[in-house]
Amino acid sequence: MRRIRSIADISDGLDALCAIDPRLAGVREAAGEVPLRLTEPGFESLASIIVSQQVSRASADAIFGRLTKLVDPLTPQGLLAAGEGIFREAGLSRPKQKTLLAIAEAVAGGLDLHHLCGLEAKDAIARLTAISGIGPWTAECYLLFSAGHPDVFPARDVALQSAVGHAFGRESRPGEKELIALAESWTPWRGVASRLFWAYYREWKGREAAPSA
């Protein structure tokens, strides 16, 4: 399985996607630059994605910036030792506090987030979603941005749903199940397709919607 490690990989994936689905040529042109968005695997990367859940990109960046200043370096041990006050100071919701602590405990207890990046997507997602508070979207984004997985498409992402709906001239955005079915045709490059539609959303709306990476 080829991993997405460079802009050249993105370019190859976009070429392949446009050959698979000619409609994507227009999307590619409108999207402009499609960034790599790749970060070092590990606790800090996963924590950043959790902070990004259900908030704007700007809000997520601000909250995560405060968190990393309060717990420096941001490690499982550091977070577990920091106390609840840092969560309030950073501006984290209580559900996200619980999720971050659950992950910190899992990693401190032996969960290897680097090893997960080498697994097949289905197996890695199953292991991640077994942790309290981690859903499929979080697991899929971790595989995209930390593992460089080439064939993951977070169909629950509202920005992706909106971008696909708008790009294809639909009156309403497709729901999760419909988008999963639609994205099947973009295999084995769904990871690049997700980046393409986040870039399209950025150009259409004038703001970033993809999680920080």
Q: pLDDT tens-digit profile of 25-43?
A: 999 999 999 999 999 999 9
Q: Looking at the domain that runs over 43-145, which CATH code has it been given?
A: 1.10.340.30
Q: Among candidates 98, 165, 164, 176, which has minimal Cα distance to 137?
A: 176
What SS3 class is residue 18? helix
- CA–CA separation, 80 and 162 (whole Å): 37
**Stated pTM of the model:** 0.94
DSSP class of residue 114? H
Q: Looking at the domain that runs over 7-37+151-205, which CATH code has it been given?
A: 1.10.1670.40
The answer to whether residues 142 and 49 touch, using CB atoms and an 8 Å cutoff, is yes
Q: pLDDT tens-digit profile of 142-168?
A: 999 999 999 999 999 999 999 999 999
Delimit the domains of the chain by residue range.
Answer: 7-37+151-205, 43-145
- CB-CB neighbours of 124 under 10 Å: 22
Burial class (CB in 10 A: 0-12, 13-18, 19+), 207: exposed
Looking at residue 59, its pLDDT comes to: 92
